[in-house]
Amino acid sequence: MGTIPVLTPAGMRAWERATWAAGVREEDVIARVGDRVAAAALRLGGAGPFLLLAGKGHNGDDVRAAARALRGRDVTLVEIGDPALALPGVASALGRRPSLVVDGLFGTGLNRPLSGDWARLAGLLNSARARVLAVDVPSGLNALDGTSWGAVVRADETMAVGGVKTGLLASAATPWVGRVSVAEDVGLVPWEGAGIPDGEIAGEWGGCEPEGWVPMRERDVHKGRMGHVMVLGGSVGYHGAEVMAVRGALGANPGLVTAWTHPGCYVPVAAQLASAMVWPWDAVREVPWGVTCVVVGPGMAGEGVAEAWRDRVRGWWDGCPATMVVDASALEWIGPGKVRAVAPRVITPHPGEAARLLGMTAAAVQADRSGAWRRLAGMFEGAWVVLKGHGTIVGRAGGRPWWNSTGNPWLAQGGSGDVLAGYLGGLLAQPQLAEDAGRTVRHGVREHGAAADRLQARGTGWTTEDLAREVGRGGAGAGGVGA
């Protein structure tokens, strides 16, 4: 998957106009979208029966094209112009208990509240509890801001066409959109050169780095050349966070990993880490020479910890030559302002931590995640900001944000953020990967979520210990062996 733009509806229309102006036929694009919708329907609904709902607009055209691609399957296509007339037929089709409903009633062009009959139709679909695939946006959703036009069809998956619409990523849309996927290769001209106004491009979404983006490891490489990450964390009652962060760092395969931990936690931390060096805090007072990345914060919530470390960590943030990843309690120690260090700086707040930094509530952060990310990026200008949560946002001031497309609700358990902080540190400790810190951070966030997806595919009941073992197995670290 390549780079996917996040666009306003106006931006999508500009992209389409550029495509038609280049001589691409609209019917050819619709046919390709239909093929993608049909493939998604087979993936989600199996052999059927399928119920396809087509409205009057282009979303309806896409669904009609999908019906043609599904010829020979058990498919019921219902064309809906007047919802009052269509309600009995849709109710009858739902009575057959279709394995999937494809929603192509309304797309990004909807700009007014749905009438009573349309709202009743949406309610009928939602009450049937059938599995739903929405084309581009769930019908009734405002594609710009994710709010409802009075009633919204609840989708299990929304397949965005070409680019992801801004409304799909808004917190208000979360109950309706389900999993977001993209029909990206549908014949549109490349979006970067399509003349889309900058104000209509909100950022980028998902995708993955091209194969070979990580340099190959030379055959004669040794651990001293593959980076040394130091994880400063833990305190009495919170030593598990240090362990999870160190295990995350190990999953990135840097040359060396060292844990610095509270003297009161030394024994339980050291007992759980066979592959890392472990030192109590009072053994070393400054970042040792040769450390290429410092991760600070996991588990440092114990009594007296902030007083002991705040000033020192702030000094490192400004002057340490190593890369730094700051998480958890330490986020409040570094202070706002433009980054003065040469080496990359990364912060990884969850919504509650972001709220404390911004002086607002976590609910307000969640209500406008992109706005909260922008404020954080401005507050810590030059740092890479990773705002964790559903659709983790990554980027820094002056650049376009990137939304992550991997992960699932089972990441909502203690320790998952510690694994991420450590994993990012383990990646960024490697000199080859620190050269393009933004790309590496995006990769790390993506792989962390993908690891959770792989675990969930095997069944529920996994823990953050399982996550720490899984992260990196989907393709992390600095490449394979060179020729």
Task: Return the number of other C-beta atoms located less than 10 Å from residue 426's C-beta.
Answer: 33
Statement: the pTM of the whole predicted model exceeds 0.85 = yes
What are the sequence ranges of the domains in the chain?
4-205, 223-470
Instruction: Mark the ranges of the chain whose per-residue pLDDT is less than 50.
Output: 1, 476-483
Which superfamily does CATH assign the domain made up of 223-470 to? Ribokinase (3.40.1190.20)
**Which residues of 313-363 form beta strands (DSSP E)?**
323-326, 345-347
Which superfamily does CATH assign the domain made up of 4-205 to? YjeF N-terminal domain (3.40.50.10260)
Closest by CA position to 99, among listed 72, 129, 119, 69 = 129
pLDDT score recorded for residue 462: 95
pLDDT score recorded for residue 211: 64
Contact between 41 and 66 (Cβ < 8 Å): yes
Q: Is the dihedral of CA 76, 80, 85, 88 positive or negative?
A: positive
**Long-range contacts for 355-360 (Cβ within 8 Å, ≥24 apart)?**
356/331, 356/332, 357/331, 357/332
What's the gap between Cα 205 and its chain centre?
A: 8
**The domains spanning 4-205 and 223-470 adopt the same CATH topology:** no
pLDDT score recorded for residue 83: 93
Q: Which amino acid is at 440?
A: T
Q: What element of type H or E holds 160? A: strand 157-161
In the sheet where 50-54 sits, what is the strand order?
Answer: 75-79, 50-54, 100-104, 132-135, 157-161, 179-183
Span 311-321, pLDDT tens digits:
999 999 999 99
